[in-house]
Amino acid sequence: MTLSESSAGTARSALPFEAAIAALNAAGSVTIVCHVQPDADTVGSGLALALVLERRGIPVRVSFAEPAELPQSMRTLPGVWHLVPPADVPDQVDLLIAVDCGSAGRLGALAGRMDGAATTLVIDHHRSNTTFGDVNLVDPDAESTTAVIARLLEAWGEPLDAVVAHCLYAGLVTDTGSFRWVRPGTHALADRLLATGIDGPEIARTLLDTHPFAWLPMLSRVLGTARLEPAVRDGTGLVYVFVRRADETGVGSEEVESVIDIVRTTTEAGIAAVFKESRTVEDRWTVSLRSRDSGPGMCDGVDVAAVATALGGGGHRYAAGYTAYGDPEGIVAALLAVLG
Ligand code: MN
């Protein structure tokens, strides 16, 4: 049984696997670019592909524009030796693959490398994907980009071994919120990955349940800024918090990214936002948005990808983000204006 057959009952979009495989087979070398502020899905996707290409004897490098260092929780992923600093990615490359990026902007300072590539392949699962590659392997129904890559490897006839499965599982367990946001076929894929002998509990613990002590006082300060706007979007409600630069002292990106998963559980709000102040640029904020599909007294789930897109970002229906500029009052007002 193939993976696509195992999710029968749900229409799967026909993806151009043949064109993607032709591009991979024709490549003399491959450059894989992950999105800025990388998560385990983009890094797991990049490293899984790199490990397969290494196995096939194809020169490969993986990079992301910022931050300068890989987040702590991802440093034990197999294949990290393929990571190179963005400055080491030449202007002219053969095949460039963007993984888990909804738009070229998500490549940050490496976006320009798209122009210097002989061929570009986009592998992604964001609904807002702009199909910015020569070949676009984009499945908005996929749980993670690593799930798309699992199907690509199957179509390519590349077997799953434990190191590749480790990377794919990293994206699957994190992007599904530890298997909360699942669909028919999700657990079948997890089963195939676990059958290679990988340590699923250890991978999840490393990626999701490991934080320095400084995380606890940081949460105390940040959650103390929480505000509830119950009238937003016809009573759906918005809850939001601020993570100021000073709050980020002593913690990593994993700790900052964990905040939205607490805030979004608020019963009285169908929409959650976290405003994260840039560590380097004055008045720049990264904004995470989440919505629930339904709830007591609420309308059907708000499409936060549409909200984020209206504010210059993008994402998934229930999880999206954008970049905002200005003071806290101004950026909240801008979000409220779009939400209505
Ligand atoms: Mn993803």
Render 168-217 in DSSP notation, one character per residue. HHHHHHHHTTTTTS--TTHHHHHHHHHTTT--HHHHHHHHHS---TTHHH
231 Cα–ligand 1 center, Å: 31
64 Cα–ligand 1 center, Å: 15
Q: What CATH number does the domain located at 10-208 have?
A: 3.90.1640.10
pLDDT at 5: 39
Chain-centroid distance, C-alpha 173: 12
pLDDT at 295: 52
Residue 262 has pLDDT above 70, yes or no: yes
Among candidates 151, 139, 203, which has minimal Cα distance to 173? Answer: 203
Q: What is the 3-state secondary structure (H, E, C) of 209-246?
A: CCCCCCHHHHHHHHHCCCEEECCHHHHCCEEEEEECHH
Q: What CATH number does the domain located at 215-339 have?
A: 3.10.310.30
State the average pLDDT over residues 64-68: 94
DSSP 3-state assignment of 94? strand
Among candidates 231, 310, 315, 241, which has minimal Cα distance to 269? Answer: 231
Q: How confident is the model at residue 14 (pLDDT cuts 50, 70, 90)?
A: confident
Q: Where in the chain is the domain with CATH 3.90.1640.10?
A: 10-208
Among candidates 141, 123, 120, 250, which has minimal Cα distance to 185? Answer: 141
102 Cα–ligand 1 center, Å: 9
52 Cα–ligand 1 center, Å: 20
CA atoms of 44 and 46, how far apart (whole Å)? 6
State the average pLDDT over residues 311-340: 95
Q: How many CB atoms lie within 10 A of CB 220?
A: 10
Residue 13 has pLDDT above 80, yes or no: no
144 Cα–ligand 1 center, Å: 5
Residue 28 has pLDDT above 60, yes or no: yes
Lowest-confidence segment of 9-13, 23-27, 292-296 by average pLDDT: 9-13
177 Cα–ligand 1 center, Å: 11
297 Cα–ligand 1 center, Å: 30
89 Cα–ligand 1 center, Å: 23
Chain-centroid distance, C-alpha 99: 9
State the average pLDDT over residues 157-183: 96
15 Cα–ligand 1 center, Å: 17
Among candidates 125, 146, 156, which has minimal Cα distance to 193? Answer: 146
83 forms beta bridges with 62
310 Cα–ligand 1 center, Å: 20
Q: Where in the chain is the domain with CATH 3.10.310.30?
A: 215-339
Q: How confident is the model at residue 316 (pLDDT cuts 50, 70, 90)?
A: confident
193 Cα–ligand 1 center, Å: 17
171 Cα–ligand 1 center, Å: 7
pLDDT at 63: 98
145 Cα–ligand 1 center, Å: 5
126 Cα–ligand 1 center, Å: 7
Residues 6+ apart with CB under 8 A from 293: 300, 301, 318
Residue 10 has pLDDT above 60, yes or no: no
pLDDT at 300: 66
Which percentage of the chain shows pLDDT scores above 90? 89
pLDDT digits (tens, 9 = 90+) for 210-254: 999 999 999 999 999 999 999 999 999 999 999 999 999 999 999
61 Cα–ligand 1 center, Å: 20
Residue 298 has pLDDT above 60, yes or no: no
Chain-centroid distance, C-alpha 263: 19
pLDDT digits (tens, 9 = 90+) for 70-105: 999 999 999 999 999 999 999 999 999 999 999 999
Give the tokens for residue 188.
């079948």
46 Cα–ligand 1 center, Å: 12
Where do the H-state alpha helices sit in the chain? 3-6, 17-26, 40-55, 145-156, 162-175, 186-194, 200-208, 215-223, 232-235, 253-263, 304-310, 328-339
Beta-strand pair 30-34/284-291: unpaired
241 Cα–ligand 1 center, Å: 23
Among candidates 253, 241, 240, which has minimal Cα distance to 211? Answer: 253
42 Cα–ligand 1 center, Å: 6
161 Cα–ligand 1 center, Å: 21
Residue 245 has phi, psi (to 5 degrees) of: -55, -45
266 Cα–ligand 1 center, Å: 24
